[in-house]
Amino acid sequence: MIDKIFFPPEWYPQSAVQLTWPHAETDWGYMLERVTTCFVEIAGQILKRQKLLIVCRSAETVRFELRSFEQYFYNLSLVELPTNDTWARDHSAISVFDGTTPIVYDFTFNGWGLKFASDYDNQITRGLFAQNKAFVPDVKYVNKKAFVLEGGAIESDGKGTLLTTSECLLSPNRNSYMDKGEIEAYLKDVFGLNRVLWVDHGFLAGDDTDSHIDTLARFCDEHTIAYVKCEDKGNIHYEALYKMEQQLKTFVDHEGNPYRLIPLPMAKTVVEDGEQLPATYANFLIINGAVLLPFYNDAERDTIAKEQLQAAFPDREIIGIDCSALICQHGSLHCVTMQYPQGFIK
C-alpha cells in the first residue's frame, strides 16, 4: 500500500489552484477592498496559466471583481459555500495518487490549534464533493478527520521525503493523543513516505500557525531548499533562523547528498497597531510555468528575493505580487492558495 501512494511536489503539473474568497464576514471585513485587490491580482496571474477554483459566498460578486480578467474566464470555476476565512492552504484537501487513482485527503482543520473559528472552513472539501462541481469523477474522497493537518505544515519532494516543523506538528492542540514517533509513522503511511525531515528551529513573530514550514523553508526541486536567512544579529529572529540554517545544512536529499540551499532575505519588519506581522519570501506559490512571489513594498529585498528564486527556478517566470495586505491577517501568498495536480479538477 505505502509504495503505491505518491504525494506530488508543488512543481508537479497542476490542473488548478484553489482560492477561498474574502467577504465582509471574514476577518478581512475592515479592509475588504484592499485585500480583494491582492486576491484579484493572484487570481489573474493564475487564470492566465491554468484553471482556478474559487470557493466563495457570492459567485456574482467574484465575477464582477475579476472582470478585468474576463478573457480568461474559461479557466474559472466558482463554487458557493459558507466560509469562515480565506486560508485555502490549510483548510483545503491534500492531493495524492494511489497508483493511478487521484485521491483527496480531507484532514481536520481546527483553526491552527483552536485559535480561530473554523467550523465552515473545515467542511469546504466535503462541500465541494457534495456539489459535484469541482473534481473530476474518478477523484476519490478520503475522510481523514481523525487527524489535524494543514497544507502549510508540510512540503513534499515527490521522492518520498516530507519536510515539516516539530513546533507545528507536535503542538498540543492538534494531535496530542499521538507522540512524535506515532505522528511520523502516520505521515509515512498516508503519504507513502520513506522519511520525514523535522525542522526544530525557526519562527516568525506574528505567525499564528506555530511555524508552518511554508513560512520558513521550501522545496524548489528534489535537491534544493529555499529558506529564510536573517543576517541582522540584532533581529529577534536571528538566533532561531541561524539554528534552522545549521540544521538544514545537516539534511541530505533522497540520494544522500547535501541539499543545495538558497537563502531568501529576511523581509523588512512590518508593525501594525504595535504588532509585528509575519512577512516572508518563503511563502511563494509554484504554478504551471511560473512562481508567484510575495512582495512587501521593499524594492531592495523584493528584488533580491526574486533573483534568488529565479536561480532556483531557471525555467519559470518569477512574478512578484504585493502581499502587504495579506500579512495584516498574519499570512501571505502561499497561505491563501492550494494547488491540485493534473487530473483532479474539472
Could you count the other beta carbons within 10 Å of the beta carbon of residue 197?
22
- Site of grid cell 483532479: 344
Looking at residue 182, its amino acid is E
pLDDT at 272: 86
Give the residue from 34, 35, 59, 54 showing the smallest Cα distance to 43: 54
User: What is residue 294's predicted lDDT score, i.e. its pLDDT?
Assistant: 98
H or E, element range at 312? helix 299-312
How many residues would you count in the chain? 346
Q: What share of the chain is helix, strand, coil (3-state, %, to 5)?
A: 35, 30, 35
Handedness of CA 249, 250, 251, 257 (dihedral sign): positive
Answer yes or no: CATH 3.75.10.10 is held by domain 2-341: yes
For residue 214, the model assigns a pLDDT of 98
Q: What is the per-residue pLDDT across 108-141, written as a single tens digit (0 to 9) for each?
A: 999 989 899 999 999 999 999 999 989 999 999 9
6-13: average pLDDT: 98
| CA-closest candidate to residue 12, choices 345, 341, 283 | 341
Domain ranges of the chain: 2-341
Residue 106 pLDDT > 60: yes
Summarize pLDDT for 196-230 with one digit per residue, the tens: 999 999 999 999 999 999 999 999 999 999 999 99
Closest CA to 22 of 48, 52, 53, 56: 56
pLDDT of residue 1: 38
Give me the residue label for grid cell 533581529. 235
Provide the mean pLDDT of the chain.
96
Decide if 302 contacts 267 (C-beta within 8 A).
no
Contact 8, 158 (CB under 8 A): yes
111: number of Cβ within 10 Å:
21
Structure confidence by residue, pLDDT tens digits, 136-165: 999 999 999 999 999 999 999 999 999 999
**For the chain, first and last CA: distance in Å?**
27
